[in-house]
Structure 1
Amino acid sequence: MQRQWGCVGDFPIVPAEMGDRDLGPSEEGERKEERGERWGVGLGGVGGLGEIEFHFSVGTGVTAMGPTYKVASAKMRSREFATWLTARRQGENETLDGQQMLEDIDMEMFDSDLYIGVTKRRKCSMGSEKVKSVTSLVYHPVQDADEEYLYAYGLDIKTGDTFRFYVPDPELALPSSETASQEIARLKHKEIIGGFIFTCCGRGAPFFGRPNIDSSPVLDNFPSVPVSGMFCGGEIGRGPSISGNSDGGQEQSFLHVYSSVYLLLSFSPPPRRA
């Protein structure tokens, strides 16, 4: 039976079977059995039918600039869903307002999207895990700056948190996409049955200067695998650990900006019975 590729933006969609002929009783039963073996075990190998595994990779797209700051004061404004900040350069005592902080970076970059990446150490748990302290890197868009405050979108920024400024960087995003492709290539020994791509709406051809960069890590390695995707405003996924933060530990990013998040599914058949 022939298959046809569709496309949404930069992304191919799941192949659609052509034709609408009726199936005979025998063929319909075989089709249902095939669907059950392939997709009915997505939560862990029910009934000895096999297992589906999830594989994750991420291509980043922002780069840090300027010094590291430590939050001196943080006024949360719940109605505006914003935080008003003053800060000190790490290792210094002078408290800086928003304008002074922006003077530390190239002001021309402020014409682009500007973020602060805040290193937060918070107590949390995931699923059945015990509550523990986790260090994470959280991105907050910069809304404005004046002679009083730096205005950041979002809450949960506390006095003592550290941060740096981040800007979109296609020169960093391109090799990061190539790294994601190399990680996905390591899955070629597995039976990949499908995948999803979630990429920032600020990426795509205008960002890179040419098309198909975000979809190539999957399609270059698995050209016949059905893939779907969408553009997002904040991409969710466990990112790689980043070493060398201010307290000498490691931090992870779970909500990304200007990134592409890849999720692939592999199928492992059940072991043969003796």
Structure 2
Amino acid sequence: MLQLFKGSKTSPLVRTALSQQPSLEQAVAELTQQLAGIGQMDLALVFASSSYASDLPRLLPLLQKQLRCSHWLGACGGGVIGTNAAAAPQEIENGPAISLTLMRLPGAQLSPFQINLNQLPDLDGPREPWMEAVGADPEAGGAMLIWIDPASSGINDLISGLDYGYPAMAKLGGLAGQHSANHGGLFFADQVCSGAVGCVISGAYSLDPVVAQGCRPIGPVFEVAQAQRNVLLELRQGDALQNPLAALQGLIGELPSSDRELLRNALFVGLGKENFAMPNPSAPQVSPFLVRNLMGMDPRLGAIAVADRLRIGQQLQFQVRDGNSSRQELKDLLLLQQQRAEQPLAALLFACLGRGQGLYGEANVDVGLCRELFPDIPVAGLFCNGEIGPVAGSTQMHGYTASWAFLVASPKPTET
């Protein structure tokens, strides 16, 4: 178990830097220049694009020669999110980029960890081995940042095990980017590694999750009446039963032409994690659905294959994805976050490679929406091969999602 680290006793501070220099040495020089004179810090988050893949083992030692920080971790990705020297958040989807965020968090409890996915504890055993692997007390509250190497096996077991050991803790992060170098894509201490790395932040600070899945529902909420593993065979709506293709075809006739066009390339399935009453559609809501890819159809049986296991009685609703829907969903969720009494110190974004310009047709939309509502906070993060974030109380691996972690002061305990 790693030793628990308590943050420094001075005032809180979060500073970010961003470089797009093609040379690693030039990028490190630019980053350290932007952060000059910052002093001793508690936690460093490093996000680098895969353009530096062969140089990744040299990155942390170079940074640590210039900057003083107690804990270092992060990941390599297909793109990088950061705040530049002009204080403008940027989504760098292609080309070299390194984003560095340094945090000084007085009163925080920080528990960085590294996990070998080939030696995971037993999911059928006690919780304690999972707690020992992370090294944090579940009773202390807080939230978890986590990044996983995409070449690792046992990713789903890891996520399930972390929920088992820390059921009340939000977990946010993603899969690192793929690259051709003969080493992993994760950063921990002064090393590049594989498996999983992360940090639990508790005590005086925690992380608020905001998970924007980028889809909007169409049509009614159905109930899964018959399924085999991930193959949907029959849906129920009220007392009526029909195969899913028939239900979808009936739905198409009621849609506007713009939505019918979206169905060609942007049709998804939303799975209810628990049954619920339909909310007020005029108010911003956190979606109770987990959005999953539609993998294929069998016209002969009228069946649909979904990228997740199905259960009888589960609620299901078809979903479509487009830039306007994604933009509005994220804005609504950020408005909910803005209503918190405590303003965040920073925002971390772990976004799908399928978002960005490919979704919106323009750059910096996700970070721009954040900056509109939170004008002064630094923004950093990574474009991932899969995004980690909670839906309806359990941690999920997502696609096409923006998984946000807002660094906030923990509520002070009420006096009795």
User: 1:99·1:147 contact (CA, 8 Å) conserved in 2?
Assistant: no
Where 1:195 maps in the other structure, the secondary structure is strand
The question of 1:56 aligning with 2:202 is answered no
Greater relative contact order (Cα 8 A, min sep 6): structure 1 or 2? 1
Aligned residue type for 2:240: N
**Structure 1 counterpart of 2:403:** 261
Where 2:247 maps in the other structure, the secondary structure is helix
Tell me how far apart the structure 2 counterparts of residues 120 and 190 of structure 1 sit (CA, whole Å): 30
CA drift at 1:155: 4.2
Q: Identity across aligned pairs (percent)?
A: 19
**Structure 2 counterpart of 1:102:** 248
Which of 320, 340, 349 is 1:197 aligned to?
Answer: 349
**Structure 2 counterpart of 1:159:** 312
Q: Deviations along 1:9-37, whole A, 9 cap, x unmatched? A: xxxx998212999xxxxx99x63788469
Tell me how far apart the structure 2 counterparts of residues 223 and 20 of structure 1 sit (CA, whole Å): 17
**Structure 1 counterpart of 2:390:** 238
Decide whether aligned partners of structure 1 residues 171 and 19 sit closer, same or farther in structure 2, where only a CA change above 3 A counts: closer
The question of 1:139 aligning with 2:291 is answered yes
Tell me how far apart the structure 2 counterparts of residues 52 and 87 of structure 1 sit (CA, whole Å): 47
**Structure 2 counterpart of 1:31:** 40
Tell me how far apart the structure 1 counterparts of residues 274 and 205 of structure 2 sit (CA, whole Å): 33
Decide whether aligned partners of structure 1 residues 185 and 58 sit closer, same or farther in structure 2, where only a CA change above 3 A counts: same
| TM-score under structure 1 length normalisation | 0.62
The question of 1:16 aligning with 2:31 is answered yes
Tell me how far apart the structure 1 counterparts of residues 342 and 314 of structure 2 sit (CA, whole Å): 43
Decide whether aligned partners of structure 1 residues 114 and 183 sit closer, same or farther in structure 2, where only a CA change above 3 A counts: same
How many residues are aligned here?
A: 222
Where 1:152 maps in the other structure, the secondary structure is strand
Tell me how far apart the structure 2 counterparts of residues 262 and 149 of structure 1 sit (CA, whole Å): 37
Q: Deviations along 1:192-229, whole A, 9 cap, x unmatched? A: 1x431012222212312322111124444255625222
Decide whether aligned partners of structure 1 residues 165 and 227 sit closer, same or farther in structure 2, where only a CA change above 3 A counts: same
User: 2:294·2:307 contact (CA, 8 Å) conserved in 1?
Assistant: no
User: 2:347·2:405 contact (CA, 8 Å) conserved in 1?
Assistant: yes
The question of 1:5 aligning with 2:5 is answered no
**Structure 2 counterpart of 1:42:** 110
Decide whether aligned partners of structure 1 residues 117 and 190 sit closer, same or farther in structure 2, where only a CA change above 3 A counts: closer
Unaligned runs of 5+ in 1: 22-26, 77-82, 123-135, 240-250
Tell me how far apart the structure 1 counterparts of residues 213 and 338 of structure 2 sit (CA, whole Å): 18
**Structure 1 counterpart of 2:232:** 85
